[in-house]
Structure 1
Amino acid sequence: MYVLNEETFTVVAVVAAARNGVIGREGEMPWKLPSDLKRYRALTMGRPMIMGRKTLESIGRVLDGRDTIVVTRSGTPPIDGALAAGSMDEAMSIAASCARARGTNEIVIAGGGEIYRAFMAFIDRVEMTRVEIDPQGDTSFPELDSNQWKTTSDVAMSRGDKDSADARFLSFVRTATEKAP
């Protein structure tokens, strides 16, 4: 939970990760899963999303119906329409303002690997697409400690014709409280 001025926000990581934890290779995902992109859209629509510069650049644009807050040292968003934050605190504050304006209490952490690790103490829930492959990669999602996280949902993805791998949709909630910075 993130609390700002007595308002409470649920922080949700949305991620697609292979069995071996890989989420990216050379700025791209090492799979094609149009079926997962539909789920991603549903989970993030109408919510502010915090991501790193590399993740935004790999997407190539801000996504409609969502606020994109990019954590960047340059102070300038790399893509028009994104909001720049120079720190985690600033990103959370901007996201809370955007959430309030949109009438939601959820803030999405959308990657990449460094951002997931940096914001892990804030995250209350993880919505993961577990891709059933073990690709090579240079970016990974942090392992969830089973003493701190409980699986609340595990559903097989219905594989479409254009999906390059099987996958499962998993939901995790934090069971042990770790103090956010």
Structure 2
Amino acid sequence: MSAGPPLVAVAAIAENGVIGRDNDLPWRLRTDLRRFRAITMGKPLLVGRRNWDSIGRPLPGRDMIVLTRRADFAPEGVSVAHDWEGACAMARESAARSGAEEIVVGGGADIYRLALPLVARLRLTIVHAEPSGDVHFPPYDPALFREAFRESHPAGPGDEHPFTFLDLERIASG
């Protein structure tokens, strides 16, 4: 990805690496959804088609870019890219138009795999559970990042598992 606002990956990840099951989240964490909204609001949000399918609609206040191989994919209210470079170019153009200071990568696993070598920050929610799932966050080298923020939360009303917000900033290229 060429110059422009930094890429930031946002993900909720169980302790066993699971991020999804049957095209949905395998947990209910209202506090995490509020954080996701706050992080992504007013910014380009780059997601894959299966992630888009699970969301099912354009998210208000965000310019969504959907990366897909499907030539016939054309939902209203989102931009569609058919390769990583095109998706990044659309996100940079959106950020320039809106004045966004970062581009958010919102998954799924294939999109995270493409973005991980390029992200400046990981904004993670570590879900303290080990649910079954069919989608996993791709491996990354923690030595390339330093912890910038950590905040633990107990399970409670609207949050079925305890979890930790963990922000990591890149310290080395890789």
* TM-score scaled by length of structure 1: 0.91
In the TM superposition, 1:127-146 aligns within 5 A as 127-146=123-142
Partner residue, 1:147: 143
Is 2:44–2:100's contact at 8 Å kept on the other side of the alignment? no
Matched, 1:101 2:97: yes
SS at 1:81 equivalent: coil
Q: Which residue of 2 aligns with 1:70?
A: 66
Secondary structure of the corresponding residue to residue 156 of structure 1 = strand
| SS of aligned partner of 2:164 | strand
- Structure 1 unpaired stretches of 5+: none
Question: Which of 6, 15, 18 is residue 19 of structure 1 equivalent to?
Answer: 15
Q: Which moved more, 1:121-130 or 1:72-81?
A: 72-81
Count of aligned pairs: 174
1:122 counterpart SS class: coil
C-alpha contact 1:57 1:78 (8 A) present in aligned 2: no
Tell me which of 28, 39, 45 is aligned to 2:41.
Answer: 45
Unaligned stretches of 5+ residues in structure 2:
none
Which ranges of 4 or more aligned residues in structure 1 deviate by more than 2 Å? 75-79, 157-160
Paired-residue identity, %? 38
CA-atom RMSD in angstroms: 1.4
Greater shift after overlay, 130-139 or 74-83? 74-83
Distance 1:148 1:132 in 2: 23
- Distance (Å, rounded) in 2 between the aligned partners of 1:57 and 1:42: 21
